[in-house]
Amino acid sequence: MKNIEFHNREKETKEIRAILDRQPTLITFVYGPINSGKTELINHVIEELPEEYVVFYINLRTKFLASYDDFIESLFEMEMETEAALKKGKETLAELVSSVTKVAGIPITREFLDYVFKDNKPKNAFSYIIKLFEEVKNSGKHPVLILDELQKIGDVKVNGPLIYELFNFFIDLTKEKHLAHVFVATSDSLFIEQIYNEAMLQGRCRYLLVDDFDKDTALNFFDECGFDDREKELAWNYCGGKPVYLVELLRVEDRGKMVERMLKIRTSQISELLNSLRAYGEKIEFRGEFYEIVYDNVIEELSKLKENVNCAYEYITPEITYLVRNNIVFVEPLENTMRAQSRLDLLAIREMLQR
Ligand SMILES: Nc1ncnc2c1ncn2[C@@H]1O[C@H](COP(=O)(O)OP(=O)(O)OP(=O)(O)O)[C@@H](O)[C@H]1O
Ligand SMILES: [Mg+2]
């Protein structure tokens, strides 16, 4: 099996390393369109980090999060290493910390687990994590907490949404205690839009965009993979710099045929979605209420992308929400613009509008 080498993310890697080099002050939100390589970048940076960093990485993507307990469980890890440590009698936090060698969820002993789940209060879990991170610091290392796909906890409630409790905890870890670096990654641009406009986070976080490769980076990638000039042009024109598509193109011999097939599939997916909207209508939750999506408004939003790659929006409407939730459109809240999730989506939208 051929492994695909991690390709150039120098600028983003440098930015993350510069953040890690200084004492923690702000929460870092890593965002970008779907499949742009956020998780890949984070994993790459983690791999290259010196020993002095202890990374607690939690990816919520695969976790089932219906309740507060689910969330707390997803944070903690009673994995083999920890279990083995327990068997050897490593019961204190210092001993536990010394047994954490690689990236994992947050280790916990059975004794603390009872405490953390007691009373169903995030406060217990958070005070345990603070104790653990302090222990990491005492051992001369720097704790780094990374939560991937955080938007998944959006609906979990504990005296109001859990997310507020969590953000307060992150602010405490960074700006107040300077105890741990906190990175939050998400491909849900509506989630970032909400965060961006959230009063409690003003001046307490920074944003790091991990976008599809730009043209130079993509062309460089094609060169490294041995594409000829015709293939390079085709790949860029159809797929832009979306890493996941480029990797897919590597797999096949006839790249010309492949890009056309990819566009055909995407166009038919988007057409099907919109035809079904026209035929049956759809309600979505928007600002806490259910809204009927207006087909003509959706087409109007998409039509803005006929001539332009990017277009400005004044505010998020139910129709923009619908397009984002269906992974057709990406909103960039820092600039109040929207665009297709990828070059392929843009071409598919334009093709669909012509039908
Ligand atoms: N820098 C890179 N070099 C080589 N391949 C990459 C790179 N970044 C991403 N990829 C490829 O693209 C795929 C998708 O990347 P990844 O899962 O990191 O995207 P993501 O932005 O986290 O996606 P999601 O929006 O689903 O969270 C990876 O599995 C990998 O094959
Ligand atoms: Mg990801």
Gap between the Cα atoms of 213 and 219, Å rounded:
9
For residue 166, the model assigns a pLDDT of 87
For residue 250, how far is its CA from the centre of ligand 2 (angstroms)? 21
Q: Which residues line ligand 1 (CB under 6 A)?
A: 4, 6-7, 9, 32, 34-40, 187, 243-244, 247
Show me where the domains of the chain are located: 10-209, 213-251, 266-354
CATH architecture of 10-209: 3-Layer(aba) Sandwich (3.40)
Q: What is the pLDDT of residue 80?
A: 45
Phi, psi of 246 (to 5 degrees): -65, -40
Give the whole-angstrom CA distance, residue 100 versus residue 81: 8
Listed range (16-20, 116-120, 208-212) with the worst mean pLDDT = 116-120
- One-letter amino acid at 343 equals R
Which residue, judged by its Cα, is nearest atom 23 of ligand 1? 35
pLDDT for the residue 257: 92
Name the percent of the chain lying above pLDDT 90. 59
Average pLDDT over residues 228-232: 91
d(CA 143, CA 54): 5
pLDDT recorded at residue 195 = 85
This prediction's pTM = 0.91
Query: What is the structure's pLDDT at 215?
Result: 95
Quote the pLDDT of residue 240: 95
**Per-residue pLDDT reduced to its tens digit, 265-303:** 999 999 999 999 999 999 999 988 999 999 999 999 999
The two domains 10-209 and 266-354 share their CATH topology (first three levels equal)? no
Looking at the chain, the number of H-run helices and the number of E-run strands are 16, 12
Give domain 266-354's CATH number out of 3.20.20.70, 3.40.120.10, 1.10.10.10, 3.20.20.140: 1.10.10.10
- CA 210–ligand 2 middle distance (angstroms): 11
Handedness of CA 66, 320, 302, 338 (dihedral sign): negative
Q: Is the pLDDT of residue 79 over 80?
A: no
* Tokens, residue 124: 């217990």
Q: In this model, does residue 83 exceed pLDDT 60?
A: no
Using the mean position of ligand 1's atoms as its centre, give its distance from the Cα of residue 212 in Å. 9
User: Ligand 1 atom 15: the closest Cα is on which residue?
Assistant: 37
102 burial type by CB count under 10 A (0-12 exposed, 13-18 middle, 19+ buried): exposed
Q: What is the pLDDT of residue 290?
A: 94
pLDDT of residue 10: 92
